[in-house]
Amino acid sequence: MAEVKKVVLAYSGGLDTSVILKWLQDTYQCEVVTFTADVGQGEELEPAREKAKNFGIKEIYIDDLREEFVRDFVFPMFRANTVYEGEYLLGTSIARPLIAKRLIEIAEETGAVAISHGATGKGNDQVRFELGAYALNPNIKIIAPWREWDLLSREKLLTYAEQHGIPVDMKHKQGGSPYSMDANLLHISYEGRHLENPAAEAEEDMWRWTVSPEKAPDQAEYLDIEYVNGDPVALNGKKLSPAEMLAELNRLGGKHGIGRLDLVENRYVGMKSRGCYETPGGTIMLKAHRAIESITLDREVAHLKDDLMPRYASLIYNGYWWAPERKALQVLIDHTQGNVNGWVRVKLYKGNVIVVGRDSKTDSLFDPTIATFEDDAGAYNQADAGGFIKLNALRLRIAAKAGRK
């Protein structure tokens, strides 16, 4: 293990990564560089710097990646209306390629030959981090402690921490948080403990971002969202940066009980896993984006996007953001968004996002002179539909005459 002289650790400052930091120093006898990413998790990150200093770490990175996260990862994903297995908006998945990218960049800046992460050997994140890292630097060495050490229980982690003078919060000593959580500007997730029984309803006090729909305001709230090239750029007439937009939609959606999800999903490593998610802003964005596309996209282009979306979603969920097939799909998706310009009005009410209006002054394909139920003054010849139907029915009529059922 002496060949690893320096490693970059994705470091949160929590119990797991603090143990990993010390374990790396002891096991690999190497210098550790810590990297803490601010992707909008809403936690104070400076304590991570102090904890790293206490371990003797000289190179400490704490990077504000919120704008890059939303602009270059969340927004491109939402241009595709991406949903995994019909429900999941991929909040955890989409943050991993950015963190992997920054790990590789820091390794190059500091001369580190390896990176390390705290993902377990049972989950998806190990795959996402490592596929991304190898795509960006095929020669990087990856150290995944959960696949190497024998500290495979919470009790062993606590014992190791106490033996090595690693501060342990009282919450860990007294039983710890009942859930394994991950948060960023797009969502917060909950797994483990009580949720490992898929028949049990999630406890109400688990949810952190959203009120329950029952306790949401009795008065609906309207939002006007302006779109340019498929991305939301203004809210109620106010221009917002990508991170500001998502943060404000989170606040408004959470206020109205929007974006809760209880899901049993299929992990890439093969097992089923139950997780709960809060994605208030993303839920609003998905609904609004589909609404603006409904009047600006050609029918077959829209249907092609819907056909490709599950494949695109799986690529992100499984960790292939940096793969050539995902990049190729992104080129097609982004090409479709050139005319997705206009505004959408949504109503937020007790857990629901209701589209109530949409318009595009420059790119709408909705022609009221043709769609009207009133006299269209000859804009559409209804007699043409007869031949259209007969031609499309031809194969069905031939089969019927041949006696096929």
Phi and psi torsions of 342, nearest 5°: 150, -155
CB-CB contact of 13 with 48 (8 Å): yes
Phi and psi torsions of 272, nearest 5°: -90, 145
CB-CB contact of 393 with 382 (8 Å): no
* The one-letter amino acid at 394: L
CB-CB contact of 25 with 49 (8 Å): no
Distance (Å, rounded) from C-alpha 251 to C-alpha 258?
Answer: 10
Q: Is 96 a catalytic residue?
A: yes
Q: Is 16 a catalytic residue?
A: yes
Closest CA to 187 of 121, 133, 249, 269: 249
Distance (Å, rounded) from C-alpha 202 to C-alpha 79?
Answer: 31
Is the C-alpha dihedral spanning 55, 58, 64, 68 positive or negative? negative
Phi and psi torsions of 395, nearest 5°: -65, -35
Q: Is 367 a catalytic residue?
A: no
Strands 141-143 and 114-116: parallel
Distance (Å, rounded) from C-alpha 307 to C-alpha 301?
Answer: 10
* The one-letter amino acid at 357: G
CB-CB contact of 347 with 221 (8 Å): yes
Distance (Å, rounded) from C-alpha 9 to C-alpha 152?
Answer: 19
Choice among 12, 18, 66, 96 that is catalytic:
96
Closest CA to 47 of 70, 26, 17: 17
Closest CA to 224 of 208, 240, 242, 205: 240
Choice among 18, 125, 182, 260 that is catalytic:
125
Choice among 49, 63, 72, 180 that is catalytic:
180
Show contacts of 155-161: CB within 8 Å, 24+ apart.
157/15, 157/16, 157/19, 158/15, 160/19, 160/22, 160/23, 161/15, 161/18, 161/19
CB-CB contact of 322 with 132 (8 Å): yes
Q: Which residues contact 159 (CB under 8 A, 6 or more apart)?
A: none
Distance (Å, rounded) from C-alpha 373 to C-alpha 380?
Answer: 11
Choice among 16, 102, 273, 274 that is catalytic:
16
Q: Which residues are catalytic?
A: 16, 96, 125, 180
